[in-house]
Structures are given as C-alpha cells and as structure tokens.
Amino acid sequence: MASLDFKGKSVVQNYHLTVKYHELIPHRGKSLTGKVSLNDNLIIHGDNLKALKALLPTYAGKVKCIYIDP
C-alpha cells in the first residue's frame, strides 16, 4: 500500500485530535437564493482542518471526494 512520508510526520500525525469542533453557521447574505441549507452545495471559507472536522457529524462515511484549494 502506498504511504505519504515526510520529515516531521511523527510530530503532526495526531494534531487533528487537538483541534476543537466548530459548528458550521450559514450566511444568508452570501446565498444566491436567500435560502440557507447545510444539506448540499457547500462552500466553506476557513481553515481546512476545522472545516473537515465540522463536516464529520453529518457527512462521515458519505463523501467520496473533497477538493481543498491550497
């Protein structure tokens, strides 16, 4: 099986466990339709680790692909 190895990996390998959960809060003013929903077509602005952790309760095991723009 392929693996990703890099210098310092052992230091950051469990960092995600220290990041606190953040609730996703819809922004009605940024919606094209004025309707807000956390059910589909989400654009999340923020730190990717916090965003992914916020998605876990709803989408764990249901997502096939996530694109994260560096």
Give 41-59 pLDDT, tens digit per residue: 788 888 888 888 998 888 8
Closest C-alpha to 26, from 17, 16, 15, 34: 34
Q: Is the per-residue pLDDT at 60 higher than 70?
A: yes
Can you read off the two tokens belonging to residue 17? 């466990």
Alpha-carbon torsion angle 31, 37, 41, 47, nearest 10: 80
Residue 68 has pLDDT above 80, yes or no: no
Q: What percent of the chain clears pLDDT 70, i.e. is strictly above it? A: 99
User: What's the rounded Cα separation, in Å, for the pair 35 and 46?
Assistant: 21
Residue-wise pLDDT tens digits, 4-52? 888 998 888 888 888 888 888 888 888 788 778 777 778 888 888 888 8
pLDDT band at 70 (very low <50, low <70, confident <90, very high): low
